[in-house]
Amino acid sequence: MKIIDEIIRRRVIQFLGSYLFAGTSFVLFMDWFVRKYNLPEYYPTITLICIVAILPSVLLIAYTHGAPGKDEWTKLDKIGVPINLIFLIGILIFGYRTNWFSDEPSKDYFKIFYIDFTSSPNYIHHYYTDFGYGSYHYFKKDKYIVESISDSLLSEIRSLVFADISSSFANQDVVIDMSFPDDEQNILNQWIYPKVSELSEDDKVKFKSHIAEFGDILGKRLDYYSSDGLPDLLHRVFIYKITEIETMNTFIIIDYGTSWEPAFSLSLPAIQWGAPPVKYDTSSVGINKLITAAHKNIYSKIHKHRYGGTTVGKVIGKLDGDLVKIKQYKLGLIKKKVRLQSNRLYKWALGGAEMRIEDLNQYINYLKNTDQKIIWKVFKPQIPYNKQSADSLINYGLNPLYDEIFKIENKLRNNGYEEQVSSNQSDMSYTMEVIEVIDSIAIARIIDSKLPVYKVRIGDFVNIQK
């Protein structure tokens, strides 16, 4: 009881109550201030952390100086308060450096980009392997022949794309290099194919040495590379000629693989890869289309990782009806009447696989449980309904969905997903039109979608529709 009486005499409870009331009021004020003037959303969080972290000093000072009359500063005050302040500063520094307070994308954009074009025979056998979802370039060996394109054609494509991409980023603070030197081509062609996700320990050791050797070569040739000689981002373009054995028809395909830290230090073949389901004719017209597509892909990759690309915000809420609440990254990026398109990031090992399965099952349920005539009208509006054709259409849509789920579940069982690997997908995206912008918040109405069904998820990224 003496302790309680002493606490009351020293007015600790009164000081604590006043402090908490003032602190709560200040947090609410900061929340309003942030929304009013479009400041970072984590400011109220920092304010709350400061108020809680400094509480020991408040209690200490209240206890030692709260009693009526004059009090001298004690040794405990002189030691305890500075230690508490150092602790608070340490938390703030740690939070700032680790992006702890904010869930927005990192603004540490890349500057040095290296582009590699290859058609090495070392990778041909991978095109006879089914890598699962998104791996459109899987060719059965008894039906297709996969070949490298000629060195002269590869060199021509590389040179033309480099000229175009250099022109696109002329007079900008961007460094772009390409795999012209033979020694750089040779070492890169020993790297592991980007779609390979499961490596043995021996493979990892060899790959690590290849990464280091590539860094040594670049570091000796170019002064502006970092101490390890590696670029901020490596984007690889794989080009191959495909021949259909039965018809002897030929076409060309492109695959992409992209790497940046931590891929280099962890010896990961790629952070992202893509296999656009496009066949390019071997004629000059087809080659020109291929060059245009490669330029567009590389430009988009560089622009996104240097300047942030066209991503302007993310979904933070689903409102009544077809309305979506969006937080824009910077004030003024989103305006009324602008059309936006969603895309979804699947972090495979961190819940992305399960999210993808849920998205696929939603589409499966639509195809299985919706009246065939309605489905037919959606996909074949100009053709009269035919039940046999409708059955084939639905089965044609269901089979790859079941197949993809099977492959994802198999990878989950075998821990086949690296923690750093993710995929940014827009195949189940929805289109929105902005109807209102209030400070940093935009309200948009969903007006269309790629598929007849879609799901709005908190955290979906939002791009300006091209």
The per-residue pLDDT for 455 is: 94
Q: Is 100 helix (H, G, I), strand (E, B) or coil?
A: coil
The per-residue pLDDT for 105 is: 47
pTM of the model as a whole: 0.61
Q: Which residue type occupies 159?
A: S
CA-CA distance, 37 to 331, in Å (whole number)?
Answer: 9
CA-CA distance, 270 to 126, in Å (whole number)?
Answer: 15
The per-residue pLDDT for 398 is: 92
Element (DSSP H or E) covering residue 323: strand 323-328
Give me the helix-helix angle, 43-53 and 12-37, nearest 10°: 170
The per-residue pLDDT for 394 is: 92
CA-CA distance, 228 to 208, in Å (whole number)?
Answer: 12
CA-CA distance, 113 to 413, in Å (whole number)?
Answer: 36
Kindly write down the DSSP assignment for every residue of 403-452, as one continuous string. Answer: HHHHHHHHHHHTT---TT-EEEE-TT-EEEEEEEEETTEEEEEEEEESSS
164 Cβ contact partners less than 8 Å away, ≥ 6 residues apart: 291, 295
Both tokens of residue 80?
């305890």
The per-residue pLDDT for 419 is: 76
Whose tokens are 């809680």? That residue is 52
The per-residue pLDDT for 257 is: 93
Both tokens of residue 228?
């390890």
Q: Which residue type occupies 28?
A: L
CA-CA distance, 189 to 184, in Å (whole number)?
Answer: 9
Chain-centre distance of CA 170, in angstroms? 26
Query: Which residues does residue 443 pair with via DSSP β-bridges, in sequence order?
Result: 325, 436
Rounded to 5°, the CA angle 334-336-341 comes to 55
Q: In the chain, what is the greatest distance between 2 CA atoms, to the nearest angstrom? A: 101
Both tokens of residue 320?
């009544």
Each residue's pLDDT, cut to its tens digit, for the chain (466 residues) gives 577 777 777 777 888 888 888 888 888 888 888 766 656 667 888 888 888 888 888 888 877 876 776 667 777 777 888 888 888 888 887 776 665 665 554 445 788 999 999 999 999 999 999 886 656 799 999 999 999 999 999 999 999 999 999 999 988 889 999 999 999 999 999 999 998 877 888 998 999 999 999 999 998 887 776 666 899 999 999 999 999 999 999 999 999 999 998 889 888 898 888 888 899 999 999 999 999 999 999 998 998 888 766 788 999 999 988 999 999 887 778 889 999 999 998 888 889 999 999 999 999 999 999 999 999 999 999 999 999 999 999 998 899 899 889 989 988 888 877 777 777 788 899 999 999 998 889 999 999 999 999 999 999 999 888 6
Q: What percent of the residues of the chain are helix, what percent strand, and what percent coil, each to the nearest 5?
A: 45, 20, 35
Query: Which residues does residue 356 pair with via DSSP β-bridges, in sequence order?
Result: none
Q: For 204-212, which contacts have Cβ atoms below 8 Å and span 24 or more sequence positions?
A: 204/267, 207/267, 207/269, 208/267, 211/264, 211/267
The per-residue pLDDT for 226 is: 61
Chain-centre distance of CA 195, in angstroms? 17
User: How many C-beta neighbours within 10 Å does residue 261 have?
Assistant: 15
Count of all residues that appear for the chain in the document: 466
CA-CA distance, 440 to 329, in Å (whole number)?
Answer: 8
Reply yes or no: is the peptide bond before residue 262 cis, omega within 30 of 0.
yes
